[in-house]
Structure 1
Amino acid sequence: MLKKYCAVLFVSLMAAALAACGADKAATTANGSSTSPAVAQEAGGKPAANPANATAESRTIQYLGKDYTVPAVADRIVITGSVESMEDALVLGVKPVGAMTTGGKFAPMFAEITEGTVGIGEKTQPDIEAILKLKPDVILASTKFPAETIEKLNKVATTIPVSHISTDWEANLNLLAELAGKQDKAKQVLQTYKEQVQELKEKIGPIFKDKKVLAIRVRAGSTFIYPESVFFNPSLYADLGAEAPAEVKQAKAQHLISLEKLSEMNPDYLFVQFAESENKDTPRVFEELQNNPIWKSINAVKNGNLFVNIVDPVAQGGTAYSKVAFLKAVKDSGIQQTK
């Protein structure tokens, strides 16, 4: 009888011990100290962006030939310096927790994604302390940033310098899509664009053939052209089939061009981007330019093929958002054959 009692007692104790062990394991799983779940759950089942007592799983992603280690789920994305990433966020519907401002404010074109977003300094002057307070999962910076700035940001969180070169637009879009889990959306955007650009090229290509087509930006009171792979140039030359002028092919970066030189180039089709926010000290510069007899003598101006701000003047040109908007604007612009 005693042996039977002891056996029953032993079984009961073992069951209790196993139950306690299971409870401890469940608790460990919940706080992430051992199993490191990809996403910890808040009360109510909503994923916690950055649980203080959890160790998030990480993954390696590739971007332009380099590997970056990021959390398995990057909910808290900060964008600094890269307007390209802001435009990609607009296309994908990604709301950054922190983003750069212009004159202390977010550009109106980003209103859809900046509600609740914290300003973390101007485009070229990131506020490291403000970024640190946001506890970002990843920081999207700009390839225009100096190495020391990237190094400082890397101490806060994995920082990816996003290319400002227009020909990297697909890689840029796919980068943000992979970080935010928006791959299907990005794939749809790219597929639709490629279908529509081919259709428009068949109509616009013959009009642009043997014509001088140029895109310029008026900023800080001066006029600039860009390399063939920057600004809206890939849309004009690679996508729509226009021939890049020699001056564009020779440009290595943003290149100042005088009105006299522009007149010498004498484009048949001229696309101008002019933003008041980029010309605060010379707000009337474009108005004065249009009243100049030299400007009026340019073929594009004389023949009604001058297109000013056909997309938002803040748009960078070499992003999915800019390219889609530009394509639609060109389609709706009523471009005609020059005389």
Structure 2
Amino acid sequence: MKRKFLLIGFITLFMLVLAACGGEKESEQDPSLDKDESRETAQTKQELTEENGTRTIEYLGESYTVPEKVERIVVTGAMEAMEDMVVLDVHPVGAIAVGGKFPELYASVTDKAESIGEKIKPNFEKIVELAPDVILGSTKFPEEVHGKLEKIAPTILVSHISTDWENNLNLLAELTGKQADAEKILSTYKADIEAAKATLIEKLKGQKVAAIRMRGGQAYVYPKEVFFNPVLYGELGLEVPNEVSKAKSQEAISVEQLADMNPDYVFIQFSADENADAPNALEDFKKNPIVQNITAFKNDQVFVNVVDPLMEGGPAYSRIKFLESVQQYLLK
């Protein structure tokens, strides 16, 4: 009889332990990742690390420990990284959607990717499901988002500053073993810049070239180190308009201010996604009597969307495509 009671007690204790373990596992698998990552995800990461080993890479003065072999990359927030993937032919397993779909701009590399949410709204649960080796986020992310991503996989915040474009390209190349490809892309681009510079500086001496982006129905200019300006003013050496020199960030420019600048050539980027509430803004802008008296508009030297309007301007892909367009339109 005593043995029977002992057996019943043992079974009861065993069932309580199982119930406690089950409750613990349920709480750990919170998709919001506000708590510790799930036991299953942690175990998977540990197994992959033990199998593949790790290595340390340097990026913008910081050290990052990543798997020896990086095959599964998720990109969230970092549009710059998406452009670098296009030029290096790197195919992520998870990528940014815009308006619920992948932009045509990235079509060549999103053939095997799944959406992990919008640009500034990552779907953490989906990212966990994809089990990435590395996550490429954005330096625009708040610390809270960065912390959640770090719980899933090694996370590198890719710089959104245009002057870091070479570092960004080399980062992706080092992660994926495509250093030779990156070196070739950079050397070719720099040679093309020098060839174009020699001709353009002479032809456009004393003339002004401006790049404008329309968002929410408003025209904006950027500092000389941002958008396509580094190509125009930094690499090609064209004259920097005062309105651009004074800009501290993305700054709205009125038609009167643009008239004061009076550029001889204007490149305008207009995306329907960025002007959903003002779809006719560009046409209304061009019809404005003040705008029609600006030299570029009078001489029909205004070029709209010479590259995909979603291009960031700073990354290698933006620079390569924009340089091609500058040569096409300014060397007529």
Structure 2 match to 1:176? 172
Residues 236 and 242 of structure 1 are in contact (CA less than 8 Å); yes or no, is this contact kept in structure 2?
A: yes
Once residues 216 and 179 of structure 1 are traced to their aligned partners in structure 2, the CA distance between those partners, rounded to angstroms, is 34
Structure 2 match to 1:124? 120
Instruction: After TM superposition, give the deviation of residue 334 of structure 1 in Å.
Output: 4.5
Once residues 303 and 135 of structure 2 are traced to their aligned partners in structure 1, the CA distance between those partners, rounded to angstroms, is 36
From 138, 141, 146, give the equivalent of 1:142.
138
Residues 208 and 241 of structure 1 are in contact (CA less than 8 Å); yes or no, is this contact kept in structure 2?
A: no
How far does the alpha carbon of each residue in 1:147-196 deviate from its partner, in whole angstroms, 9 at most, with x for none? 11111111111111111111111111000011011111111100100111
Once residues 88 and 120 of structure 1 are traced to their aligned partners in structure 2, the CA distance between those partners, rounded to angstroms, is 18
SS of equivalent residue, structure 2 residue 96 = strand
Structure 2 match to 1:252? 248
Instruction: After TM superposition, give the deviation of residue 215 of structure 1 in Å.
Output: 0.6
Structure 2 match to 1:297? 293
Instruction: After TM superposition, give the deviation of residue 77 of structure 1 in Å.
Output: 0.6
Structure 1 match to 2:222? 226
Q: Residues 57-96 of structure 1: matches in 2 within 5 Å?
A: 57-96=53-92
Letter in 2 for 1:229: E
Once residues 46 and 110 of structure 2 are traced to their aligned partners in structure 1, the CA distance between those partners, rounded to angstroms, is 23
1:201 maps onto 2:184 in alignment: no
SS of equivalent residue, structure 1 residue 152 = helix
Instruction: After TM superposition, give the deviation of residue 93 of structure 1 in Å.
Output: 0.3
1:271 maps onto 2:267 in alignment: yes
How far does the alpha carbon of each residue in 1:51-110 deviate from its partner, in whole angstroms, 9 at most, with x for none? 956623111111111111111111111101111100000000000100110011000111
Residues 49 and 67 of structure 2 are in contact (CA less than 8 Å); yes or no, is this contact kept in structure 1?
A: no
Structure 2 match to 1:25? none
How far does the alpha carbon of each residue in 1:235-267 deviate from its partner, in whole angstroms, 9 at most, with x for none? 000111112222222222111111221112111
Letter in 1 for 2:210: L
Percent of residue pairs bearing the same amino acid type? 51
Count of aligned residue pairs for this structure pair: 288
Structure 1 match to 2:106? 110
Residues 87 and 316 of structure 2 are in contact (CA less than 8 Å); yes or no, is this contact kept in structure 1?
A: yes
Instruction: After TM superposition, give the deviation of residue 275 of structure 1 in Å.
Output: 0.9
1:282 maps onto 2:260 in alignment: no
Instruction: After TM superposition, give the deviation of residue 50 of structure 1 in Å.
Output: 7.6
TM-score by length of 1: 0.82
Instruction: After TM superposition, give the deviation of residue 145 of structure 1 in Å.
Output: 1.1
Q: 1:111 to 1:82 in 2, by over 3 A?
A: same
Once residues 49 and 155 of structure 2 are traced to their aligned partners in structure 1, the CA distance between those partners, rounded to angstroms, is 21
1:310 maps onto 2:306 in alignment: yes
Once residues 50 and 97 of structure 1 are traced to their aligned partners in structure 2, the CA distance between those partners, rounded to angstroms, is 16
- Highest Rg: 1 or 2? 1
Residues 305 and 335 of structure 1 are in contact (CA less than 8 Å); yes or no, is this contact kept in structure 2?
A: no
Once residues 192 and 213 of structure 1 are traced to their aligned partners in structure 2, the CA distance between those partners, rounded to angstroms, is 24
Q: 1:53 to 1:232 in 2, by over 3 A?
A: closer
Unaligned runs of 5+ in 1: 1-48
From 234, 237, 240, give the equivalent of 1:241.
237
Q: 1:241 to 1:51 in 2, by over 3 A?
A: same
Give the CA RMSD over aligned residues.
1.6
SS of equivalent residue, structure 2 residue 92 = coil
Structure 2 match to 1:154? 150
Once residues 246 and 147 of structure 1 are traced to their aligned partners in structure 2, the CA distance between those partners, rounded to angstroms, is 36
Instruction: After TM superposition, give the deviation of residue 209 of structure 1 in Å.
Output: 2.4
Letter in 2 for 1:105: K
Once residues 297 and 190 of structure 1 are traced to their aligned partners in structure 2, the CA distance between those partners, rounded to angstroms, is 40
Residues 242 and 261 of structure 2 are in contact (CA less than 8 Å); yes or no, is this contact kept in structure 1?
A: no
SS of equivalent residue, structure 2 residue 308 = coil
Letter in 1 for 2:241: P
Structure 1 match to 2:96? 100
Once residues 213 and 165 of structure 1 are traced to their aligned partners in structure 2, the CA distance between those partners, rounded to angstroms, is 22
Residues 272 and 309 of structure 1 are in contact (CA less than 8 Å); yes or no, is this contact kept in structure 2?
A: yes
Residues 230 and 318 of structure 1 are in contact (CA less than 8 Å); yes or no, is this contact kept in structure 2?
A: yes
1:323 maps onto 2:319 in alignment: yes
Once residues 53 and 194 of structure 1 are traced to their aligned partners in structure 2, the CA distance between those partners, rounded to angstroms, is 39
Structure 2 match to 1:16? none
Instruction: After TM superposition, give the deviation of residue 320 of structure 1 in Å.
Output: 0.6
